Structure 1
Amino acid sequence: MSTTAIPESAIPGSAVPESAAPAPATPPPGVVTGRPLAWLRAEGLAVAAAALVLFAGTGQPWWLVPALFLAPDLAALGYLAGPKIGAWCYNLAHTAPLPLALAAAGTWWDSAALTVAGAIGLLHLGVDRLAKYGVKYDHSFGATHLGLHGPDRP
């Protein structure tokens, strides 16, 4: 007959020594967590859906959506000039002002190309937020307001 040791933590009323308890994962300063993160991800889904509605209004072929979806990521080439310039370029292409301005200009000037560019930018932004990719900090490519990614992840 074999005996199996019962961990002390499984016995009611026993305490696990502090050194054995896993430390709570604390996000780095500036990273959104909890319910606000859920709201920002829901917002990303809503922005992506609205972008697809905007794109549908252009009458352009749907193959353009997957063909152009990663175009905003070309802004990451700014990192070749360093993390500060890279973050600025990346954030310009990955926040709402630029794609909204392109969509508005496309509507104003009746330019399908500008409207498509704005719609694709908004779609990309929405999907990024849904996937927890956020606005970049100046010190590292992987540090965003929605979490750490790549080599920056603990």
Structure 2
Amino acid sequence: MNPRTLVRAEGAVVAAAATVTYALDGRSLLVFLAVILLPDASMAGYLHSRRVGAITYNAVHTYVGPVVLAAVGVLTGTGLAVGIALIWTAHIGADRLFGYGLKYADREFGDTHVQRL
């Protein structure tokens, strides 16, 4: 299997696992639907420049943020933080499934790390 297919399959598994975990924990579908596209607000950085857009988009579209948020939520007993982390993780996984990847500051928006695989 080529790397692009693997990244997309990985995204599907991550999105499904995060979504199922969220649902099995009895969390609100309305909150899920309200928050699932929120990470894409990071594209607003492109209104300033490609460089700023790539930085803001990439900062929100890596698994580092949701993993840290989930850890904080678990350690502090804050269920909302864990729920938001699961939605955020599902978003990133779905992006990878559909071929959206991290952006390059010196390239067009659609030229991502997934496209280069």
TM-score when normalising by structure 1: 0.68
Task: List structure 1 runs of 4+ shifted beyond 4 angstroms.
Answer: none
Q: What's the RMSD between the two structures over aligned residues?
A: 1.7
Structure 2: unaligned runs, 5 residues or longer: none
The answer on whether the counterparts of 1:58 and 1:115 sit within 8 Å (CA) in structure 2 is no
Q: Which has the higher contact order (CA 8 A, sep 6+)?
A: 2
- Matched with 1:43 is 10
Moved more, 119-128 or 103-112: 103-112
Deviation at 1:54, TM superposition (A): 3.3
TM-score when normalising by structure 2: 0.88
- Matched with 2:110 is 142
Residue 65 (structure 1) aligned with residue 60 (structure 2): no
The answer on whether the counterparts of 2:45 and 2:53 sit within 8 Å (CA) in structure 1 is yes
Residue 105 (structure 1) aligned with residue 72 (structure 2): yes
- Matched with 1:115 is 82
Distance 1:106 1:68 in 2: 17
Output aligned runs, 1:74-85, within 5 Å: 74-85=41-52
AA matched with 1:69:
I
String of CA shifts for 1:18-55, please: whole Å, max 9, x gaps: xxxxxxxxxxxxxxxx7111111110011102211332
Deviation at 1:81, TM superposition (A): 2.4
The answer on whether the counterparts of 2:101 and 2:112 sit within 8 Å (CA) in structure 1 is yes
The answer on whether the counterparts of 1:58 and 1:112 sit within 8 Å (CA) in structure 2 is no
SS of alignment partner, residue 92 of structure 1: helix
Larger Rg: 1
* Percent of aligned positions that are identical: 39
AA matched with 1:117:
I
AA matched with 1:125:
I
AA matched with 2:72:
A
AA matched with 2:44:
L
Question: Which of 47, 53, 56 is 2:20 aligned to?
Answer: 53
